[in-house]
Amino acid sequence: MAQIGPDLFVGTEARYLRSYEGLGFDNFAGHGFFVGPTIYANLSERSWILFAWNVQIAGRSADDPTSLDLKNFERHQATLKFGFTF
Each residue's pLDDT tens digit, 42-53: 999 999 999 999
Mean pLDDT for the stretch of residues 21-28: 85
Residue 78 lies inside a defined structural domain of this protein: yes
Range of the domain at 6: 2-50+65-84
> What percentage of residues in the chain have a pLDDT greater than 70?
100
pLDDT at 65 over 90: no
pTM: 0.84
pLDDT at 39: 98
Residue 58 lies inside a defined structural domain of this protein: no
Closest CA to 39 of 53, 28, 26: 53
Please state whether 6 falls in left (phi above 0), alpha (psi between -120 and 50) or beta.
Answer: alpha
Q: How many domains does the chain have?
A: 1
Residue 74 lies inside a defined structural domain of this protein: yes
Residue 57 lies inside a defined structural domain of this protein: no
Residue 59 lies inside a defined structural domain of this protein: no
Residue 55 lies inside a defined structural domain of this protein: no
Mean pLDDT for the stretch of residues 10-26: 91
